[in-house]
Chain A
Amino acid sequence: MREFVSPQNFVPSDFEVVRNSDRCIACRVCERQCANEVHWYDSDLGKMISDETKCVNCHRCVSLCPTRALKIVKNNDTYRPSANWTGPVIDQLIRQSGTGGALLSSMGNPEKYPIYWDKMLINASQVTNPSIDPLREPMETRVFLGKKPDAIERDENGKVINNLDPQLKLDVPVMFSAMSYGAISYNAHKSLAMAAKELGTYYNTGEGGLHKDFYQYGPNTIVQVASGRFGVYKDYLEAGAAIEIKIGQGAKPGIGGHLPGQKVTVDVSQTRMIPMGSDAISPAPHHDIYSIEDLRQLVFTLKEATAYKKPVIVKVAAVHNVAAIASGIARGGADIIVIDGFRGGTGAAPTRIRDSVGIPIELALASVDQRLRDEGIRNHISLVVGGSIRNSADIVKAIALGADAVYIGTAALIALGCHQCRNCHGGKCNWGIATQRADLVKRLNPEIGAQRLVNLVTAWNNEIKEIMGGMGINSIESLRGNRLMLRGIGLTEKELEILGIKHAGE
C-alpha cells in the first residue's frame, strides 16, 4: 500500500514507468529485480502494476525486460514555469521543510557548469610532419609515476647510479580511483582488482581498508590512509604498491565521510576494524594535519613504516588555492599528487556541497602543472587527475594539459553496470555496486565486471594511441604538458590564460 504523505510534503515523482502492455508477458523479472519495489504482479487483474513514486531510474528493469516492454520517462508534471524557482528547486525546498535535514546526493555534480574538456580541441599532423599509424609502428602509453631525479649521477667508473625513487608502473595511463569497500560492494571491489591486475594498472582501496581476500592483488593496489584511518595497520600498508593520503575528495571538499551503520556488515566491520553496525565517520580534517609540515610528517611516517619502498600519494580536491597547496605537497615529500575535480563522484555527499564547492579539474590541473613548472619542481612529483574523465579524448587533453595519468571512478562503475541513478546513499543499488545487501551484491559477477573494465580501458588505450599517432607523437611522454596540441573553442582570454592554451585559429 502507498505510504501516506501529507499534502505539504508531497513531491511528484521524477519519473514515470511506461509499460507497453502489448509487449509485457508478465514474466515478473522487473518485479524480482527491483529493490525499490516499484513493480508487482496483480493476480486479480492478471497484469503487472508499477508505483513510479519509488522509481529511482536505475534502468535495471528496462535492461532485463526480455520483451523490451518497459521504458522510464521524465515525469512531465509541472509547477508554474519559472526560470528561477524551477521544479527541482521547489522539490528540494519541500523535502527540506518536511525533514529539517541536509539534502543528500550521490555520484558527481550534475549541474550545468562548463565542461572545459568539451571546449578544447586536439591537433593533428598534416603534410609538414607525418602522422603515425599505431597499428604499424610502436606507440608507447606506459607511464611511470613517482619522483624523477634532477640529474643523472655516475660513479667513478662512469656507471649510472640508480638514484630513482620508487615508481608505479602503469601499462595504461588510467587507474581506478578510490572507492571504499563499504561504499561499494565486495564484487565491485573484486572486479576492479581483477581488472587492474590484467591491465597492469592500479585500483584504490579508498578509506575502507583492504578485505583479506584482496591482499593477493596487493601489487596492483593503492592503499588509502584517510582521516578515519579505517583498516590501517602494518600489513595493510605493506600490501599495497603505493600509499595514498586522502586529504579531500572532489565531490565534497572540506568535509568528511559517513558510512551508515547498516552498511557496516560483518566483513566491512572486520575490514575497517570497527564494530559491526556502527556508523563509520571520517572526520573532515586529519586531526594530525594542520599544515604542510604536519603533512610532511605523515608522508615520512608512512615512508618510514614501509622502508621507503613505496611511493606516497597525496590526494586533494580541486579548490581555489590548489596550485599553492600542490606546491606544498610536492615540498612535503609526496611522490604523486592527485587532484580531484568538482565533478568527482561519491557514495553520498550533502547536495549543496557536492553542487557548489570546488573548481573544474581542467583549470585546477593547468594551474597546478604551471605552478610546479614555474617553481622548477615539476619533476619532483607526478600529477594524477580525476573527477569526471569520461572518455579517451578527455585523457589525451588531460595529459596535454600536464597530467601524468588519470583516475576513473564513475566511468569504471558505469562499465560495471551503474546507470547513474545517483541513489548510492540509499544502499539498494540494483546493479550490485553501491550496496551491501547480499542478494543485490551477487548481481555483479566479478568475472563479467572485470572483463568489461578491461574492455573499456583497452579500447581507450587504443584510442589514445590513435589520437597520439594523428598528432605525430609516438610516446605519451611527448604528449605530457604539450599544450600546443590543444586549442580552446569559445573560451575567454582569462580561461585560455589559465589553461595555457591558444584559441582555435591562432
Chain B
Amino acid sequence: MKKVWVNEEWCLGCHLCEYNCAYANSGIDDMVKALKGKTINPRIRIEEGDSINFAVQCRHCDDPICVKSCISGALSKTDGLITIDQSKCVGCYTCVMACPYGCIMPSEEGPMQKCELCTKNGCEPACVKGCPNNAIVYEER
C-alpha cells in the first residue's frame, strides 16, 4: 500500500503541509475562504529542531494500537489504511493516549481526527502534493 514517507533531510520546516492538510480537510474549495482568520488544526504536524525538521502524521502502523484501544469501534483498519468513523467516536481519548506518534487529535467538532491519506477528500495526499522539496512522498515501499 502507498503511504506517506518522510525524507527528513529535505524538510525545510515551512509548514505548508499543515496548511494544505487543513485546506484539504475543510471541504471548502478556496484556500483563503477555508483558512483565513482561523487557527488551523491539521492532521500532519511539523516537528522542528535546530538543524532538522520533519512532518509527522499517522504512520498507518502494521499493528495499530489505536485501533486496539478504541472502545467504540470508530477506528478500523482496511487494506492497510486506518480510518475513523467519526459518528461512532465517543470522545474517550484512549486512542490519543495510545498513539506513540501523537497523530490522533480532537477535531473542532469534538470527535477525534486523524490522517486518512486524503481518501475522504477525493485527492492524493494534499500535504505531499504541496511539499516544495519532496520532503514527504506518497509511495509504495
Which positions in A face B, CB cutoff 8 Å?
Answer: 22-25, 27-29, 32-33, 64, 66-67, 438-439, 442-443, 445, 447-448
Q: Choose from A23, A32, A447 the contact partner of B14 (Cβ within 8 Å).
A: A32
Q: List 10 A-B contacts (CB under 8 A).
A: A25-B32, A25-B37, A32-B12, A32-B13, A33-B12, A66-B16, A438-B51, A443-B12, A443-B133, A447-B134
B14 touches A29 (CB 8 A): yes
Interface contact B15-A27, CB-CB below 8 Å: yes
Whether A442 lies near B16 (C-beta < 8 A) is: no
B36 beta carbon closer than 8 Å to chain A = yes
Nearest-CB residue, chain B, relative to A439? B51
From 1 to 28 in chain B, residues with beta carbon under 8 angstroms from any chain A beta carbon are: 9-10, 12-16, 19-20, 23
Partner of B133, one of A67, A439, A448: A448
The verdict on A445 contacting B134 (CB below 8 Å), with A22-B32, A25-B35, A67-B32 known, is yes
Picked from B9, B12, B35, the residue with its CB within 8 Å of the CB of A27 is B35
CA A393 – CA B15 in complex, angstroms? 41
Instruction: Say yes or no for B102: interface residue by CB 8 A criterion.
Output: no
Per the bound structure, the CA–CA distance linking A25 and B37 in Å amounts to: 7
**Chain B interface residues toward A at CB < 8 A:** 9-10, 12-16, 19-20, 23, 31-32, 35-38, 51, 130, 132-135
- Find out whether the CB atom of B19 lies under 8 angstroms from the CB atom of A27: yes
User: With the chains together, A32 CA to B23 CA distance in Å?
Assistant: 20
Min CB distance A132 to B, Å, is: 39
- Decide yes or no: A25 and B31 within 8 Å by CB, A438-B51, A439-B51, A448-B133 being known contacts: yes
CB pair A67–B31 under 8 Å, yes or no, is: yes
**A64 vs B135: C-alpha distance in the bound complex, in angstroms?**
15
Residues of B within 8 A of A64 (CB): 14, 16, 132
Q: Chain A's nearest CB lies how many Å from the CB of B27?
A: 16
Q: How far is the CA of A29 from the CA of B51 in the complex (A)?
A: 18
Distance in Å: Cβ of A186 to nearest Cβ of chain B: 12
Chain A residues whose CB sits within 8 angstroms of the CB of B132 once the complex forms: 64
Q: Which residues of A contact B134 (CB under 8 A)?
A: 445, 447-448
A30: nearest chain-B partner, CB-CB: B14
A30: min CB distance to chain B, Å: 10
A22 to B32, alpha carbons, bound, how many Å? 8
Minimum Cβ distance to chain B for residue A65 (Å): 10
Q: Are A27 and B16 in contact (CB under 8 A)?
A: yes
User: In the docked arrangement, what's the CA distance between A25 and B35, Å?
Assistant: 6
CA distance A105 to B74 in the complex (A): 62
Q: How far is the CB of B18 from chain A (nearest CB, A)?
A: 8
- State which of A24, A32, A442 has its C-beta within 8 Å of the C-beta of B10: A442
A418 to B: closest C-beta gap in Å: 15
CA distance A25 to B36 in the complex (A): 5
Q: How far is the CB of B33 from chain A (nearest CB, A)?
A: 10
Partner of B130, one of A23, A25, A32, A66: A66
Chain A residues within an 8 Å CB radius of B14: 29, 32-33, 64
CA distance A64 to B131 in the complex (A): 10
Tell me the complex Cα distance, A23–B35, Å: 10
Give bound CA distance, A28 to B133, whole Å: 17
Which residues of the other chain, B, contact A29 by a CB distance below 8 angstroms?
14-16, 19
Would you list the 6 A-B pairs with minimal beta carbon distance, nearest first? A25-B35, A445-B10, A27-B19, A445-B133, A25-B36, A67-B32
Nearest Cβ on chain A to B43's Cβ, whole angstroms: 16
Contacts of B32 in A (CB 8 A): 22-23, 25, 67
Q: Does B16 lie within 8 Å of A28, measured CB to CB? A: no
Residue picked from A24, A66, A438, most chain B C-beta under 10 Å:
A66
A28 and B19 alpha carbons, distance in the complex (Å): 10
The residues of B that contact A447 with a CB separation of less than 8 Å are 134
The minimal Cβ–Cβ distance linking A267 to chain B, given in whole angstroms, is: 15
